[in-house]
Every structure is written in C-alpha cells, then in structure tokens.
C-alpha cells in the first residue's frame, strides 16, 4: 500500500505511551498517578481512532525491561492493569473494540492472566477497532519466540514464515508509529513490524496527548510519501492522457 500527500488515515497506528512518570513528577504526584492518567489518555485515543476510521491501535503498555523498575511501581502497574480490566472492558466492548494482549504471559500472576483471557473473550466479536495492548512485550522477544515456533514445527526460518509466527500476525504492520514524551527512539517496540512504518515523535507527555495531537500525527502521515523501496515515479499513477479516435 502506498500513499503520497493524500490525506490518508493510517489503517494501523502504534503508540509508545511515554511520559506518565514525568507528568506525575511535574505535579509532585507519585509516578503511579501518571500511569492512572495514562489509562484515561488511552481511552480517549481509542475512541478517537474509532471516530477517524483507524482499524488497529497497538500500544506499548509494559515492556519486558520494565520489570527492572522499582518494585512499588511494578506492583502498582499490575494492580492498575487488573483494575482497568475490571472497569474498562465492558465499555470498550460496547464501543466495538476487540482486545488482544500481546506479550509473554509467563511471570504474570494467575489473576492477571485470567483477566487478560477473559477480556479477550468478552470482546472477541467486536469489529470497529482492534486494540492490541503490548504487555510484558519486547521486539526481540517477539522475534525469538517466532523463531522458536518455526524450529519446533520444522519450518524454514524465512521472512514469510517468521512474519506469520509473530505475536501480531493477526493484524497488518503499523503504518504509523507515534512516540510521546519527547524521546526519539523506538525502545525495542515492534522491531519486525515497524520496518516500513512512518515515525512521528511528539513532545507531549502521554497523559497530555489528546485528539488534536493525534490529528497532527495523522496529518503528517498523510503528507508523507511511502515508497517501500520503489522510486517516486514508480508509485505515481501515470499522468499521460491517451487520445482515441
């Protein structure tokens, strides 16, 4: 799929939701308060994506490296996830959102794992938006687990087979990747899938990322030329006019 300055809405948006802790620190609040506000921002973003015709939203909620954070913050994040599942899933289902939790579930408590599976079950019939929540996820983990699957099945480690074995094989690769918080790196997120994603870096901290900020990112995306290795001339429709008698 190609686009050139066509105002296109990306089919799949991925977001690195960065800046929750700094948002809280600036307000002299505990870091967990920033993560709680980040849940509200995610709710707002998902609703905005549905309204704008985005089909898939993938968010980086908890990386495999985040376990090294202070234990109090990690425990708080786990509790926040469990509470969010209890409070948000019903409304997300009413809004037509289908949930997938993508990542390594080993090491999560039985309660959390059961909550993830139940949320996926409840929303399995929805079609307006696929919301992938990457939890205990890392791009390197994803590539490694895909390779392990293929080896176990005796299949060739080809790009095509790896693509089918990735944790996000159920959706197309992201067209647009957004990172909030002013950092300009992708931090082990969707390393395989982001090969041809357009990147957009926002200085807004995630709790402050609103509909206007999303629209700005989409507008920038719509003005970029996506060539996928080809030349500009190759992807442009012919402007020649053929005259017939």
Catalytic residues: 18, 66
Rounded distance between C-alpha atoms, residue 28 and residue 183, angstroms: 22
DSSP secondary structure letter of residue 99: E
- What backbone phi and psi angles, to 5 degrees, belong to 199? -105, 135
154: alpha, beta or left, given left = phi > 0 and alpha = psi -120 to 50? left
Task: Please list, residue by residue across 118-144, b when 16 or more beta carbons sit within 10 angstroms of its beta carbon and e when fewer do.
Answer: ebeebbeebeebbbbbbbbbbbebbbe
> Which single residue is written with the structure tokens 């994506």?
49
């Amino acid at each position: 799929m190609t686009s050139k300055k066509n105002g296109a809405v990306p089919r799949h948006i991925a977001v690195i939701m960065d800046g929750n802790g700094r948002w809280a620190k600036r307000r002299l609040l505990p870091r967990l308060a920033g993560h709680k506000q980040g849940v509200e921002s995610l709710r707002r973003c998902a609703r905005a994506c549905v309204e704008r015709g985005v089909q898939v939203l993938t968010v980086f909620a908890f990386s495999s490296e985040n376990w090294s954070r202070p234990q109090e913050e990690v425990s708080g994040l786990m509790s926040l996830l469990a509470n969010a599942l209890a409070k948000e899933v019903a409304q997300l289902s009413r809004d037509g959102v289908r949930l997938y939790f993508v990542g390594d579930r080993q090491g999560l408590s039985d309660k959390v794992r059961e909550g993830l599976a139940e949320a996926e079950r409840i929303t399995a019939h929805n079609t307006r938006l696929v919301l992938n929540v990457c939890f205990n996820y890392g791009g390197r983990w994803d590539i490694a687990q895909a390779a392990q699957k293929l080896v176990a099945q005796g299949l060739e480690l080809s790009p095509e087979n790896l693509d089918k074995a990735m944790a996000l094989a159920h959706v197309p690769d992201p067209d647009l990747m957004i990172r909030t918080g002013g950092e300009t790196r992708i931090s082990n997120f969707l390393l395989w899938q982001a090969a041809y994603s357009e990147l957009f870096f926002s200085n807004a901290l995630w709790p402050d990322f609103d509909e206007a900020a999303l629209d700005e990112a989409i507008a920038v995306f719509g003005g970029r030329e996506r060539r996928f290795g080809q030349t500009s001339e190759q992807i442009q429709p012919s402007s020649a006019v053929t005259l017939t008698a």
